[in-house]
């Protein structure tokens, strides 16, 4: 019963998370986004991508500092960040550049803020593709290393936002400062002592705020190796 309730909340998060995109599309199609609706729509999608990246990175600090456990929803938040980043690029390529691939490639090569933004999107692709239980089991320790790229993608997104402005503005600097703070926290956060790892896969629960470990059993040596996941948590089946 609790598992069904948790899954329902995750799907509710997906639904609510996509509402800003639908609302922006509605405003754009009804003249509510000003004189340049394509640019406004593109900007809104990119901004929400950055917001969801920040929310994803905030899950562990909230747990460690305030005992607010939102680990179940981190996968959904990360995927929403990717969806918005992909929509942001799609609007740029389809509506802004009218599928002129030569113009798109030229922009990526010649305009630094687009180069950095594209690099950040590329970094998010393998994270989205491997955000599932099968990939976690298949990749083992490498999954943890791979998903640390989210920090680089977030930093790139902040730089992309700052460079996209022709003059100094406070908004992108505020977003960059928040991301910088989260990166600093990740670098200096104290190591937390983990409970004994469970053999062969998923830990039985993640409440209470303590780090947990999954394990990989070597087929050749039958030796159990604990894996300390990013932010101290590997999602279980049924989690966001």
Model confidence over 141-165: pLDDT tens digits?
999 999 999 999 999 999 999 999 9
Q: CA angle, corner 68, sides to 64 and 72, nearest 5?
A: 100
In a domain, 29, yes or no: yes
Q: Give per-residue pLDDT as tens, 100-138.
A: 999 999 999 999 999 999 999 999 999 999 999 999 999
pLDDT(233) > 80: no
Average the pLDDT over 91-103 and give the result. Answer: 96
- Domain for residue 18, yes or no? yes
Identify the pLDDT of residue 192. Answer: 58
The answer to whether position 232 is within a domain reads no
Q: What is the mean pLDDT of the chain?
A: 83
For 45, the token pair is 């999608």
- Residue 234 belongs to some domain of the structure: no
Q: Is residue 238 part of a domain?
A: no
Could you tell me if residue 82 is inside a domain? yes
Tokens 């599309």, residue located:
25
Angle subtended at Cα 80 by Cα 167 and Cα 96, rounded to the nearest 5 degrees: 45
As for how many domains the chain has, the answer is 1
Can you give the pTM of this predicted structure?
Answer: 0.79
pLDDT of 214 strictly over 80: no
pLDDT band at 217 (very low <50, low <70, confident <90, very high): very low
pLDDT at 225 over 80: no
> What span, in angstroms and rounded, lies between the C-alpha atoms of 104 and 167?
23
The answer as to whether 49 is a domain residue is: yes
pLDDT tens-digit series, residues 42-59: 999 999 999 999 999 999
Structural domain span for residue 53: 2-194
What share of the chain in percent tops pLDDT 70?
A: 77
**pLDDT value, residue 202:** 26
Q: Cα 55 from chain centroid?
A: 8
Q: Is residue 219 part of a domain?
A: no
């Amino acid at each position: 019963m609790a598992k069904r309730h948790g899954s329902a909340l995750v799907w509710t998060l997906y639904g609510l998370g996509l509402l800003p995109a639908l609302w922006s599309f509605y405003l754009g199609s009804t003249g509510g986004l000003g004189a340049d609706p394509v640019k406004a729509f593109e900007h809104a999608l990119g901004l929400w991508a950055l917001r969801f990246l920040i929310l994803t990175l905030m899950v562990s600090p909230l747990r460690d500092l305030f005992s607010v456990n939102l680990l179940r929803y981190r996968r959904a938040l990360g995927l929403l960040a990717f969806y918005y980043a992909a929509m942001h690029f799609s609007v740029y390529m389809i509506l802004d550049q009218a599928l002129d691939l030569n113009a798109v490639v030229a922009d990526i090569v010649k305009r630094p803020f687009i180069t950095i933004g594209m690099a950040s999107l590329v970094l998010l692709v393998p994270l989205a593709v491997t955000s599932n239980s099968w990939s976690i089991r298949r990749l083992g320790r490498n999954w943890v290393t791979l998903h640390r790229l989210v920090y680089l993608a977030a930093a790139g997104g902040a730089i992309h936002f700052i460079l996209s402005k022709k003059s100094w503005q406070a908004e992108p600097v505020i977003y960059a400062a928040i991301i910088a703070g989260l990166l600093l926290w990740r670098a200096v956060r104290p190591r937390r002592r983990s409970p004994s790892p469970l053999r062969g896969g998923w830990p039985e629960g993640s409440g209470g705020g303590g780090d947990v470990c999954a394990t990989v059993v070597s087929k050749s040596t039958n030796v159990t190796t604990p894996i300390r996941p990013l932010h101290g948590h590997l999602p279980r089946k049924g989690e966001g």
